[in-house]
Amino acid sequence: MYLPSPFFTFKDTFKLLSVLVFCFPLSETLADNSATLPSYPETKGALTLSKALQIALIKNPELAVFSTAIQIEAAKTFQESRYPNPDLTFGISNFGNPAYEGFDGESISLELSQLIELGGKRAARIKAANLTKELAVWDYETKRIDVMTQVAQAFIKTLAAQEFLHLSQKIHAITQQMSTTVATLFRLGNVASIEKINAKTVEINARLEQMRAEKNLEIKRKQLAATWGSSRAKFNAVVGDLEAVQELPSRHFLLKKIKQNPDLARWHDEINQRQALIHVEKAKAVPDVTVTVGVNHNLIPNEATMSVGFSIPLPIFDRNQGAILAANYDVNKAEAIQKHHHFTLKQILNDRYQQLEMAYEEIIILRDELIPNANSRYEIAKKGYQYGKFDLLNVLDAQRTLFTIQKQYLNILTQYHLNVAFIERLTGSALHSVIEKTES
């Protein structure tokens, strides 16, 4: 069956993050949360790509950082919704006047002042803060797809290393069998010593290649485990099929889907957020009013008076013109960056698609023509050698050609799937991935 794609929509991501963020609701006191994400045990048996993606989504330490950033922005949004606090002023006048003794002639005042924001400042701040929080979600989405791509590519490399090991083991077994056969013929006096030496040399070289393949597989296993923050690989093997290739969608179709790339899609909200900041700066140009209500109590004579007043700054010199202009330029800058990203991503996609197209065509030729022909040639040379029609050099040459083509086939399969994963990252959606084998 085909793998479930690691690339789901931004809306799905937002729903997921809403669970992660709002399962810790912000109270009026913003109480501390000590809740943690659920753990996901690493598999100790065969590892499929979907399992690897699930483990990384939960355990990757970088994702935890970006998830926390969303909570930070949610807290900031909550703070921006708060009204300004009132001011309470207490004072004593005429203190120390020689005309009075002690506190006989003092005047005590108590005033309460409240800042009243005008021009829609609070609403503008809240809107800008909400958009900033959405940008934090986009940052998480970008990092999530980056991590998923890293996992997919590390999985493909591990699967390829595993297949290379299987191939090297098979090659070693074949060369070992050939070396044993030639050694037997040498003892019977049917072949020269040079043929025995040649066969043994090929066997030793195959054994060295198998050792390198074993070491390389261990390295790739650790690199895959590192994508979810583990220092060692607990899984026994990875399960997948590198030969699962499909006919490619058109380049035009993929170019249309590139708008789903989070690096590009986020700029819609980025521009909206910067436009919201323009409204914040314009609101700052509207002066606020401070209303004051007070009580004054004079001890001599014993009487109390009330006072009411307000203050308002006069926007004569500073009307926040510079900040408003800078905010407008910031929107223009964001629009220019969006266009640049779109152009750059299209260029990268064109280059990668060409590489993928070439890899697909090469795979078809290798699979349907070169490998069958090389295998037939090797079988003919091997049988001919047994009947004395060909010498050992013909067999070894046919064998070397077959092994080289088989390695080339594995290499190009690996490049094909790595390019698929990269294009999925560019388009933000599934193209097609390594096909999972059903576990028996």
Residues 166-182 pLDDT 10s: 999 999 999 998 899 88
Q: What is the reported pLDDT for 155?
A: 96
Output the pTM of the full model: 0.79
Task: Kindly state the average pLDDT of the residues 248-268.
Answer: 88
Query: Each residue of 95-133: b (16+ CB within 10 Å) or e?
Result: eeeeeeeeeebbbbbebebeeebebebbebbbbbbbbbb
Residue 371 has pLDDT above 60, yes or no: yes
Residues 178 and 397: their CA atoms lie apart, in Å, by 13
Residue 13 has pLDDT above 80, yes or no: no
Task: Kindly state the average pLDDT of the residues 210-233.
Answer: 94
Give the DSSP H or E segment for 198. helix 193-226
Task: State the span(s) of the chain assigned CATH 3.30.1300.
Answer: 85-116+286-319
Residue 229's closest CA among 69, 67, 55, 70?
55
Q: Which residues pair with residue 46 across a beta bridge?
A: 237
125-153 pLDDT, tens digit per residue, is 999 999 999 999 999 999 999 999 999 99
For all residues of the chain together, what is the average pLDDT?
A: 84
Residue 238's closest CA among 342, 166, 139?
166
How many other CB atoms are there within 10 angstroms of residue 206's CB atom? 23
Of 68 and 434, which is predicted with more confidence?
68
Residue 271 has pLDDT above 90, yes or no: yes
pLDDT confidence band for 30 (50 / 70 / 90): very low
Task: State the span(s) of the chain assigned CATH 1.20.1600.10.
Answer: 10-82+117-285+320-427
392 Cβ partners below 8 Å, 6+ apart?
Answer: 182, 191, 195, 198, 199, 385
85-116+286-319 CATH fold: Pantoate--beta-alanine Ligase; Chain: A,domain 2 (3.30.1300)
3-class SS of residue 105: coil
Q: Which residues pair with residue 309 across a beta bridge?
A: 292
Residues 408 and 155: their CA atoms lie apart, in Å, by 19
Residues in the chain: 440
Instruction: Report how far apart, in Å, the C-alpha atoms of 411 and of each of 3, 179, 280, 374, 376 are.
Output: 21, 27, 56, 17, 22
Q: What is the reported pLDDT for 237?
A: 93
Instruction: Report how far apart, in Å, the C-alpha atoms of 271 and of each of 267, 336, 346, 390 are.
Output: 6, 10, 21, 74
Long-range contacts, stretch 13-20, CB < 8 angstroms, 24+ apart: 13/137, 13/140, 13/141, 13/144, 14/137, 17/67, 17/70, 17/137, 17/140, 20/67, 20/70
Residues 74 and 126: their CA atoms lie apart, in Å, by 11
Residue 277 has pLDDT above 80, yes or no: yes
Residue 239 has pLDDT above 90, yes or no: yes
Residue 39 has pLDDT above 70, yes or no: no
For the chain, the C-alpha Rg in angstroms (whole number) is: 37
Residue 14 has pLDDT above 70, yes or no: no
Q: Which residues pair with residue 310 across a beta bridge?
A: 291
Residue 35's closest CA among 63, 78, 67?
67
Residue 76 has pLDDT above 70, yes or no: yes
94, 108 contact by CB (below 8 A): no
Residue 66 has pLDDT above 70, yes or no: yes
Residues 377 and 402: their CA atoms lie apart, in Å, by 8
Residues 358 and 416: their CA atoms lie apart, in Å, by 9
Residue 37 has pLDDT above 80, yes or no: no
10-82+117-285+320-427 CATH fold: Outer membrane efflux proteins (OEP) (1.20.1600)
